[in-house]
Amino acid sequence: MTDITTLQIALILGGVILASITAGILAGLLGVGGGIVLVPVLFWILSFTDFPPALSMHMAVATSLATIIFTSVSSARAHNTRGAVDRDLLWQWGPGLVIGALAGGLLSQFIDADGLRLIFGGIAVLVSINMLLPRTLIISPALPKGWVPNGIISLVTGVFSALMGIGGGTLSVPLLSAFSVDIRRAVGTASAFGFLIAVPAGIGFIISGWGVPDRPPFSLGYINYAAAAIILPFTVGFAPLGAKLAHAVGTVWIKRAFALFLMITAFRMLASFFS
């Protein structure tokens, strides 16, 4: 196990609390699950300590997923009270998301830290570009018909959401919007997707990290449940505030600001590959 000093613990606590508040608000506001904020922050905090670099990304992704299990429930309940969760879409995409997320969690044992960073950074760049576009990309005036096309889309979404440590909203909201789904309904339903992704993906990361040496204390597989316990009160507590804001104000400028943050984060993740 990795020893962590008191100063390092203080640094970790301060960074994690700030990131958790931001993640909770964004989870409710944009349906992104909060992992898109937590993963890079956790990764960088671990990188500033003596934590083994080979484990930093896996632990960040897995711990983020553990928090999303509860954050997504809080966010989805807030959206559901406003009628923004599409239950038919949950049934249609649910099986693919669950299978894909479990597969992604299990696949993580065969992907090194650089591979996970490349996946996170690359997809984050694409998502941020999409969010910065003045008009939403429209593929079709409606979702495809039938279980097969929807199953494929949801399966792929589940796999990459698991490998990125996100709740699915980061990928599913742009996808749903591209199929002309109302943005508030897309955000509300995506918040519920988080639970369907985070539970099987978390199980996959527990299995993949079982018995891996040099993990910090209080770890279950790649999930550090002590860090998750610190994060949860803030993400769960602030998610309803984000959901309230989503239904009260226009989110255009918030989306643009978040897209810029995401772009910077992604490029920092990818910087080492080009140096």
Query: What is the Cβ-side half-sphere exposure of residue 220, based on CA atoms within 13 angstroms?
Result: 12
Q: What is the structure's pLDDT at 99?
A: 97
Q: What is the structure's pLDDT at 237?
A: 78
CB-based contacts of 165, cutoff 8 Å, min separation 6: 35, 38, 39, 60, 61, 62, 63, 64, 65, 68, 120
Q: What is the structure's pLDDT at 173?
A: 82
Separation in Å, CA 261 to CA 22, 152, 257: 12, 30, 6
Q: What is the structure's pLDDT at 14?
A: 64
Per the CB < 8 A criterion, the answer to whether 239 and 24 are in contact is yes
Q: What is the structure's pLDDT at 135?
A: 73
Q: What is the structure's pLDDT at 249?
A: 66
Q: What is the structure's pLDDT at 2?
A: 47
What is the DSSP code string of 107-176? HGGGS-HHHHHHHHHHHHHHHHHHHHSSS---S-SSPPSSHHHHHHHHHHHHHHHHHHT--SHHHHHHHH
Tens of pLDDT along the chain (275 residues) come to 444 555 556 656 666 676 677 777 776 666 565 677 788 878 887 777 777 878 889 999 999 999 888 878 877 888 788 888 899 999 999 999 999 999 999 999 999 989 999 998 898 888 888 878 777 678 888 888 888 999 999 999 999 999 998 876 778 888 888 888 887 788 889 888 989 999 999 999 999 999 899 888 889 999 988 888 888 887 777 777 777 776 676 667 666 767 777 787 788 778 766 65
* Of 236, 260, 226, 274, the residue nearest 1 (C-alpha): 226
Q: What is the structure's pLDDT at 119?
A: 92
Q: How far apart are CA 255 and CA 128, in angstroms?
A: 9
Question: What radius of gyration, in Å, describes the C-alpha atoms of the chain?
Answer: 17
Q: What is the structure's pLDDT at 101?
A: 96
Q: What is the structure's pLDDT at 8?
A: 56
Q: What is the structure's pLDDT at 108?
A: 93
Separation in Å, CA 271 to CA 263, 265, 275: 12, 10, 6
